[in-house]
């Protein structure tokens, strides 16, 4: 595809801008999904307010470096794969609905190579603050003779490098790919819902629906991206909750550890009820809609084409 390099640049730029804009909401999503017994946070805004109060403004960006580093290759793989599959499955420039679904499915499968380790590391970094907030600070009984107790230093903050090294040392490469099955289970249905829904919303009210030549107006692409993204995000939230729980290594007091997807589903259902599977759904919709809206905007403005034009 002659347009692929430009598309990859667009995808990368969109990923970087998008992640920077919505990362705090994503952090809230992880923390809300991981809450089991102790409710440290009542909701998204409460979580963000408490995070800023206890960890500063940049506390909301814990884990963002990992995400920013790996989001470009992730977007590149996803876009390139979706393009390749769409080309292979289309006949005379037309792509049937089942072809769109299959192409999305293939794209979701390919991106797991990068998504799983990225999410794995990001989740540990995002959740560290929640675990710290759960730990009660012991107050020793005052004594007349004893000197005042020294202030307890906060536990050391985990770093992406530290976690990676530790995981590779203790569990080898599979350690980084913990939760790959759950990531697949989330990303494949997401892509299967998102890509066809976006293509059809984007083609509304145009001649030659399904043809590759008509260009939708910017606002339509923007709304189609946001709308399709929100629907797909909320639809796969239960799978995202399972994935977050499986990938979280450090658990809080009295929190369940899970043996796998089925065990995790069963325990959440038994201990927390069906509502637990929708934890962080609002956050997910609020994260995904702007991400895809921004992506459509970057595509529409032709940032990649402009960059390649300058380089040539």
Q: Which residue would you say has higher pLDDT here, 149 or 5?
A: 5
What's the rounded mean pLDDT across residues 278-291?
A: 94
Check if the beta carbon of residue 295 is closer than 8 Å to that of residue 14.
yes
- What secondary structure, in 3-state letters, does the chain show? CCCHHHHHHHHHHHHHHHHHHHHHHHHHHHHHHHCCCCCCCCCHHHHHHHHHHHHCHHHHHCCHHHHHHHHHHHHHHHHHHHHHHHHHHCECCECCHHHHHHHHHHHHHHHHHHHHHHHHHHHHHHHHHHHHHHCCCCCCCCCCCCCCCCCCCCCCCCCHHHHHHHHHHHHHHHHHCCCHHHHHHHHHHHHHHHHHHHHHHHCCCCCCCCCCCCCCCHHHHHHHHHHHHHHHHHHCHHHHHHHHHHHCCCCCCCCCCCCCHHHHHHHHHHHHCHHHHHCCHHHHHHHHHHHHHHHHHHHHHCHHHHHHHHHC
Give tens-digit pLDDT for 156-187: 778 899 999 999 999 999 999 999 999 999 99
- pLDDT per residue as tens digits for the range 53-81: 999 999 999 999 999 999 999 988 988 89
- Taking the C-alpha atoms of residue 67 and residue 264, their distance in angstroms, rounded to an integer, is 25
Question: Looking at residue 42, what is its pLDDT?
Answer: 94
Residue 7: the pLDDT is 86
Look at residue 208 and tell me whether its pLDDT is greater than 80. Answer: no
Going by C-alpha positions, the residue among 64, 57, 62, 76 that lies closest to residue 4 is: 76
What is the pLDDT at residue 80? 86
Residue 298 has pLDDT above 80, yes or no: yes
At 30 the pLDDT is 97
- In this predicted structure, the answer to whether residue 153 has a pLDDT above a threshold of 60 is no
Share of the chain above pLDDT 70, in %: 90
Residue ranges of the domains in the chain?
2-134+159-310
Rounded Cα gap, residues 255 and 168, in angstroms:
25
Class of the 2-134+159-310 domain? mainly alpha
160 to each of 77, 122, 261, 309, how far by Cα in Å? Answer: 22, 8, 25, 36
Whether the per-residue pLDDT at 142 is higher than 60: the answer is: no
Across 50-55, average pLDDT: 96
Is 151 a residue whose pLDDT tops 70? no
Kindly report, residue by residue over 77-123, the tens digit of the pLDDT: 988 898 889 999 998 888 888 898 899 899 989 999 999 999 999 99
Query: Is 60 exceeded by the pLDDT of residue 139?
Result: no
Mean pLDDT of 9-36: 94
The pLDDT score that the predictor gives to residue 119 is 96
Tell me what percent of the residues of the chain surpass a pLDDT of 90. Answer: 61
What mean pLDDT value characterizes the chain?
88
pLDDT in tens, 212-264: 556 778 888 889 999 999 999 999 999 999 999 999 999 988 899 999 999 99
pLDDT at 292: 86
* Residues 268, 241 contacting (CB under 8 angstroms): yes
């Amino acid at each position: 595809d002659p347009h692929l390099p430009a598309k990859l640049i667009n995808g990368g730029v969109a990923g970087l801008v998008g992640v920077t804009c919505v990362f705090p909401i994503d952090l809230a999503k992880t923390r809300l999904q991981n809450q089991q017994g102790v409710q440290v946070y009542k909701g998204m805004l409460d979580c963000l307010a408490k995070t800023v109060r206890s960890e500063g403004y940049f506390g909301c960006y814990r884990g963002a470096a990992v995400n920013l580093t790996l989001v470009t290759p992730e977007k590149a793989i996803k876009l390139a794969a979706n393009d390749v599959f769409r080309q292979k499955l289309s006949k005379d420039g037309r792509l049937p609905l089942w072809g769109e679904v299959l192409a999305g499915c293939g794209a979701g499968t390919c991106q797991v190579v990068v998504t799983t380790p990225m999410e794995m590391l990001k989740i540990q970094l995002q959740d560290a603050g929640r675990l710290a907030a759960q730990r009660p600070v012991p107050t020793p009984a005052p004594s007349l003779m004893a000197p005042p107790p020294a202030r307890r230093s906060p536990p050391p903050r985990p770093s992406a490098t530290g976690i990676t090294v530790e995981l590779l040392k203790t569990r080898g490469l599979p350690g980084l790919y913990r939760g790959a099955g759950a990531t697949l289970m989330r990303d494949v249905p997401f892509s299967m819902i998102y890509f066809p829904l976006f293509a059809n919303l984007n083609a509304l009210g145009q001649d030659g629906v399904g043809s590759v030549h008509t260009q939708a107006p910017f606002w339509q692409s923007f709304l189609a991206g946001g709308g399709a993204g929100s629907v797909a995000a909320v639809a796969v939230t239960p799978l995202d909750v399972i994935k977050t729980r499986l990938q979280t290594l450090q658990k809080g007091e009295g929190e369940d550890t899970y043996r796998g997807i089925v065990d995790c589903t069963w325990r959440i259902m038994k201990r927390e009820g069906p509502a637990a599977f929708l934890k962080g759904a609002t956050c997910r919709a609020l994260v995904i809609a702007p991400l895809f809206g921004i992506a459509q905007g970057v595509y529409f403005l032709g940032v990649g084409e402009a960059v390649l034009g300058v380089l040539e």
